[in-house]
Every structure is written in structure tokens, then in C-alpha cells.
Amino acid sequence: ARRVGLSTAAVHERIKKLEQAGVIRRWTVLLDAAAVGSPVTSFVEVFFEHPRHETAFLERVADMEEVQECHHVTGESSLLLKVRVADMESLQQLLLKELGAFEGVRQTRTVMALSTVKEETFVPLAPEGGES
């Protein structure tokens, strides 16, 4: 409030309006994945036999805690998943018995993160006027 020259109540009201408008989707904290038992980070590309299989897959992935992010991407694959698991055995289980065994998944391709140099949750805001 001090930084923008408004009262605490005015800032609180603006935040509530941003939440109601869907600009602020949720509040969160950034945990150290290794400290909470999920030190293995990987990125999984998902290839489908046919696009009709994608909707059911997306519904299933939305409920999987190991899958932190799911993006439609350009290129050969349809989806890119960011996953975090406890160990290689857990990753193997996820790839073979969950993701790869899902109906319509033709193939998955996995890239392991050796270390993470930067990881943020903020989104840069466009300057006034809407242009970046």
C-alpha cells in the first residue's frame, strides 16, 4: 500500500477484484522439491495415435500430482509435461504404467533435468497501454 500510495483497504479491494476477475488464479508458495521428497525433475513429450485420445488424457493428467505442468506445444509431440517424482523407480512407474499405458498414447520422450538454474512463478506484466 505504501509503495503505490494507497490505503491498505484500497489495495485489499483491488486484490479482491483481481481474484474475482480471474487475473489472480490462486496464491501459492514455491517449495524446494528435493526438500519435500521430489528431487527428480523431468520433461515428458507425449505423442498420440490420434487427436481424439487427447481429451481423456488431459482429464487424467489434471489429477496426477506428479505432473506439475501440461502444455500444448508445437513440433512433433502434442503435449509437454513437467513432472516431479521421488526417484528413478517412481519415474519409470509414471512413464510406463501411467502415461505410456494410457489409451491412444503412441510414445513418450523424456528429458531429465540435471539441475535447475532458474525457476519462477511470476508472470511479467505488460506496461500501461497493453504492449510488452
pLDDT in tens, 88-126: 999 999 999 999 999 999 999 999 999 999 998 888 888
> Which of 94, 83, 81 lies closest to 39 in space, CA to CA?
83
Q: Taking the model in full, what pTM does it have?
A: 0.83
**pLDDT at 130 > cutoff 60:** no
The strand order across the sheet containing 79-85 reads: 67-72, 79-85, 40-48, 105-112
User: Taking the CA atoms of the chain, what radius of gyration do you get in angstroms?
Assistant: 19
